[in-house]
Structure 1
Amino acid sequence: MGLSKEYRICMPLTVEEYHVGQLYMIARHSHEQSNGGEGVEFIESKPCEDEVHGQGQFTEKRIHLSSRLPTWVQSLIPKIFYVTEKAWNYYPYTITEYTCSFLPRFSIFIETRYEDNNGCNENCLNLSDEKLATRSVVNLDIAYDNIDPRYYKEEEDPCFFQSRKTGRGPLIEGWQNSHTPIMCSYKLVTANFEVWGLQTRVEEFIQSCIQNTLLIGHRQAFVWIDEWIEMSLEDVRQYEKRMFEETNVMFQSQGGGDTLENVTPTPSSPALTASPPKSQPPSRPESNPSTPSIPTAKSWFSWS
């Protein structure tokens, strides 16, 4: 059983607004963080459908980050290292999986739901009593929680930022209890690394990285609001496509990864293979990747 934490991140937005803001932030952030042959390599993005959640968007990425890991982690992995991200976006509900063919006992599963409230729903994700008893809740404040100093930018600090187009911000202390509009990202993150002697240390490291990433990403989604607030969903999908293409060109020119044409599927460990929910047909064509079922306490896993 991995380490599970439910992160609750309030935003001075509506759930409808955040749909566009999230897509913009992920595409731009991925582009900005890709350099020197490391960063995000986009494999594919296409529509998907689920009998329970309806129409959605499936994306697959490879995250190349060897030199950005602590020395003790680098000593455990090959020099050429990447994590595969698969995401099923049925907004306002999403599922994200992170796996690695080099580390078959590593996995992360993230289940997310967005609601127009300030994080007051104690079981937004409809967890079982068993999961409620084992998960810990972490409330993140995009304005007043500390982030890694290496990534701090004053112009991206919600304590100082004010939107020209919406007038929102700066965010004052306790803003979650008074700001209108308000929404919350509920993210249940389960990290697994079942290797004797390293499990606790690695799972805690994974959660600390995810917490920092969530803070930075949500801060950016807000402070970049003037760039995306007037975009439609179609507009941001076009922006996302352009960023994917530019990021891959830049990534390849710096000697990173494979080209899209040369990508071959990463073999999955049997323990990591995502199976469709029981309500779905027993099989689906490869062109329509099935949504993984929510993991049980013994299953291996499932970054927005």
Structure 2
Amino acid sequence: MKIFILRTFLPFTFEEAVQLYQPCYESNALSDKCQRIRNERIIHDDGETEIIHEKILEYTSYIPKGLKLFLPKNAAVFREEIRMKGMRLTRKFTSEWINDDLLLYYDIVFVEGKQEEYDLDMFDLTDEEKKILTYQVFDLGEPVEQDLKSFKSSADPNHFVSSITGRGPIFQGWSDQINLNQKNEERKENEDKEKEKENQTSFDSTPIITEFRLVRFKFKWTGLQTIVEHLAPGVIHTILGNGHRQSFCWNDDILGKYYQSKNYPIFGKQAAEEKLKYALEIRAQYEQQQQEQQKNKKKDYEK
């Protein structure tokens, strides 16, 4: 079994994350094919609503070419069960191909602010699991590999500005540029005071939350177990990374509907295009300066 925790910083408020990471959205866009077979809401005695969502998904495009030769056509077809209650979400994938010999399980917790430390008490881990547990980090702004076939160019945070919130573009290391000593509410309160004179409510321009995703992966198949379990963490990392990119770039319609009834000034499509153009120009100048500095250092070293 492979077990790891993936930590991701996201430029959303808690309220926005609830809207954007609904079970009915994420895997639909990530998979090659999707068939919904269950969608149910249950109100518990404590008043909280739990969403239960089940789908049949196909992920054939994510399987490396060399591995496809050894697998049947339905090897990448999974049954997904999702349960979401509050800001905790679990996703369980099973395969009809090899039944209990394959398991992919996510346990997801959203935490307010930027939390770099991994709190294992958030998850139900055995002592044996803690011994083999590894850690991964995904940066929403990290450049995408050019040969990544599952990547959608329209879901590139490096080339996107939200027409609703005006956030973006996002580049690698973006979270380091935020004043981490202020909580989201404090930043929003300060911005609201600035806008109060104009009788407007402003967006929190730089919110940040942390997603911790515990991933369990098990594969038992004679001759392939070592290969598949070796490749699986990288493939899963790619799938989850694509999901976060799409959540940031593809959901202006959801945020627009969410903020429609609120007194929030929409950033606007034209303003978003202008901001993106300007940001990319500044980024290009910065990268050129970095290249020139590296060349100068190399020349000095050669001397």
TM over 0.5: yes
Higher relative CO (CA 8 A, sep ≥ 6), structure 1 or 2? Answer: 1
CA RMSD of aligned residues (A): 3.1
- Per the alignment, residue 224 of structure 2 pairs with 198
Deviation at 1:127, TM superposition (A): 4.8
Bigger-Rg structure (1/2): 2
What CA distance in whole angstroms lies between the structure 2 residues aligned with 1:76 and 1:88? 30
Q: Is residue 80 of structure 2 the alignment partner of residue 98 of structure 1?
A: no
- Per the alignment, residue 176 of structure 1 pairs with 175
Deviation at 1:145, TM superposition (A): 4.7
- Per the alignment, residue 208 of structure 1 pairs with 234
TM-score of the superposed pair, with normalisation by structure 1? 0.65
Deviation at 1:224, TM superposition (A): 2.4
Deviations 1:13-39 (A, max 9, x none): 112201111239x638626855xxxx1
- Per the alignment, residue 110 of structure 2 pairs with 114
What CA distance in whole angstroms lies between the structure 2 residues aligned with 1:67 and 1:165? 32
The answer to whether the 8 A contact 2:81-2:91 is kept is yes
The answer to whether the 8 A contact 2:140-2:172 is kept is no
Q: How does 1:60-71 map to 2 (within 5 A)?
A: 60-66=54-60, 69=63, 70-71=65-66
Q: Is residue 246 of structure 2 the alignment partner of residue 189 of structure 1?
A: no
Pick the structure with more helix per residue: 2
Deviation at 1:167, TM superposition (A): 1.7
Deviation at 1:61, TM superposition (A): 0.6
What CA distance in whole angstroms lies between the structure 2 residues aligned with 1:138 and 1:81? 23
What CA distance in whole angstroms lies between the structure 1 residues aligned with 2:119 and 2:135? 11
Q: How does 1:33-72 map to 2 (within 5 A)?
A: 34=32, 39-48=33-42, 54-66=48-60, 69=63, 70-72=65-67
Deviations 1:144-180 (A, max 9, x none): 1535532445543212322222121122442112332
What CA distance in whole angstroms lies between the structure 2 residues aligned with 1:57 and 1:222? 22
The answer to whether the 8 A contact 1:6-1:135 is kept is yes
Runs of at least 5 residues in structure 1 that lack an aligned partner in the other structure: 236-304
Deviations 1:107-145 (A, max 9, x none): 111111011122424216245472333211111011115
Q: Is residue 70 of structure 2 the alignment partner of residue 75 of structure 1?
A: yes
Q: How does 1:1-304 map to 2 (within 5 A)?
A: 2-23=1-22, 27=25, 30=28, 34=32, 39-48=33-42, 54-66=48-60, 69=63, 70-73=65-68, 75-77=70-72, 82-104=77-99, 105-123=101-119, 125-128=122-125, 130=127, 131-147=129-145, 149-179=148-178, 180-232=206-258
What CA distance in whole angstroms lies between the structure 1 residues aligned with 2:219 and 2:130? 21
The answer to whether the 8 A contact 1:66-1:81 is kept is yes
- Per the alignment, residue 296 of structure 1 pairs with none
Secondary structure of the structure 2 residue equivalent to 1:143: coil
Deviations 1:8-66 (A, max 9, x none): 11111112201111239x638626855xxxx1111111013667994211011111345
Name the stretch that deviates more: 42-51 or 74-83.
Answer: 74-83
What CA distance in whole angstroms lies between the structure 1 residues aligned with 2:165 and 2:158? 16
Change (3 A) 1:197 1:116: same
Matched to 2:118, the amino acid is E
Task: Give the fraction of aligned pairs with identical amino acids, expressed as a percent.
Answer: 21
TM-score of the superposed pair, with normalisation by structure 2? 0.65
Runs of at least 5 residues in structure 2 that lack an aligned partner in the other structure: 179-205, 262-303
Change (3 A) 1:52 1:4: farther
What CA distance in whole angstroms lies between the structure 1 residues aligned with 2:46 and 2:5? 23
- Pairs aligned (count): 228
Name the stretch that deviates more: 88-97 or 131-140.
Answer: 131-140
Name the stretch that deviates more: 118-127 or 80-89.
Answer: 118-127
